[in-house]
Amino acid sequence: MQLPASVHSPPPTSSRLLHRVRQYWWGYVFVSPWILLYLVFGLYPLVLSFFLTFFNYSFVTPGDRTFVGLGNWIRGIEDPLFWKSLYNIILNQAVFILLKNGLGLLLAALLFRVTIGARIFRTIYFLPVITSTVVLMTVGDNLAGPGGAVQLWLMDIGVLSKPVFWKAYDTLPMIIIAIINTWKWFGISTVILLAGMYGIDPRLFEAAAVDGASGLQIFRNITIPMLRPQLFFLLVVDVINGLQMFGEILSIGFNVYGGIKNQALTPVLYLYAQAFDQANVGYASTLGLMLAVIIAVLTFLQFKFVPSRLD
């Protein structure tokens, strides 16, 4: 069926478009720095990273680049060290995300109750967030190490009988790094969740209190469900950032392989080692893509299955 042309809204004629381009051309000038930088340092590397995965390539001898097809992908899928690094980071993040957001939620709930001093506490809790990873890991390494303050206390109260050289253990490093990182980042969760709590309609709390609900019931049935958007945001960002952990491991004193038994190897650290210690640039690029795919899938699953909105 043919409709008369006039039924459609008139498409912007090319002369009108041209007129607006001419009128507002400064807009293009103002955003052009970002566009140029993104073309060169964003899109081009992105394309290059796909390209590199099909080659054996090293910085030292860029001349003998050899085409290996899907060889790097197969190697990655069969590489036990990659899977070890993935296991490590998932263990680390499971502990970290639970502790950090649990602690953040607890402290936000407590801060929500008090009127005097809330700002001072918030200011203090945020201190580690603004301090650099290298500094905090240097301090954390010293505090948690054998002979460090934390171990001395644990021996004083009888929890430990002798100093623990935790870096040499299989799973302890990732757990202890998760605890140190909890200390660094819980302030973010506290601030975000506290802002969320202030955003809840106070009449909800009042009505529940009138109905005789206990503090814990109110927290479970009103506060938590109302904080879903904030909790979801924290989870998504934590997974994306956390799986890419890198600096922490070097800063706390492990080598680029995460120790002799690779007990602290993370995926990004592993690809760093492949590129800069073994000069396998193509393979390192493939590992980066593999991790990005895993992150994308996990993010997608969260959007699909984790409740993110208010009912």
Site residues for other proteins, 16-45, by CB under 8 A, read: 17, 20-21, 24-28, 30-31, 33-35, 37-38, 40-42, 44-45
DSSP state of 220: I
User: Binding other proteins by CB under 8 A: which of 244, 279, 302, 308?
Assistant: 244
Binding residues among 61-100 for other proteins as defined by CB under 8 A: none
302, burial (CB in 10 Å: exposed 0-12, middle 13-18, buried 19+) = middle
Binding residues among 183-222 for other proteins as defined by CB under 8 A: 183, 187-188, 191-192, 195, 215
Distance CA 261, CA 302 (A): 32
260 binds other proteins, rule: CB under 8 A = no
User: Binding other proteins by CB under 8 A: which of 73, 169, 219, 246?
Assistant: 246
Judge contact between 218 and 252, C-beta under 8 A: no
Binding residues among 149-168 for other proteins as defined by CB under 8 A: 149, 152-153
Helix axes 80-113, 118-125, angle to 10 degrees: 170
267 binds other proteins, rule: CB under 8 A = yes
The secondary element (H helix, E strand) that includes residue 55 is: strand 55-56
> Residue 56: beta bridge partners?
66
User: Binding other proteins by CB under 8 A: which of 72, 181, 262, 285?
Assistant: 285
User: Binding other proteins by CB under 8 A: which of 69, 225, 247, 307?
Assistant: 247
Binding residues among 105-144 for other proteins as defined by CB under 8 A: 106-107, 110-111, 113-114, 117, 121-136, 138-140, 142-143
36, burial (CB in 10 Å: exposed 0-12, middle 13-18, buried 19+) = exposed
Stretch that binds other proteins, among 73-81, 89-97, 237-245, 303-311 (CB under 8 A): 237-245
DSSP state of 67: E
Nearest residue to 248 via CA among 178, 147, 169, 146? 178
Residue placing its CB nearer to other proteins in the complex, 1 or 180: 180
Distance CA 58, CA 72 (A): 14
249 binds other proteins, rule: CB under 8 A = no
Binding residues among 291-310 for other proteins as defined by CB under 8 A: 291-292, 295-296, 299
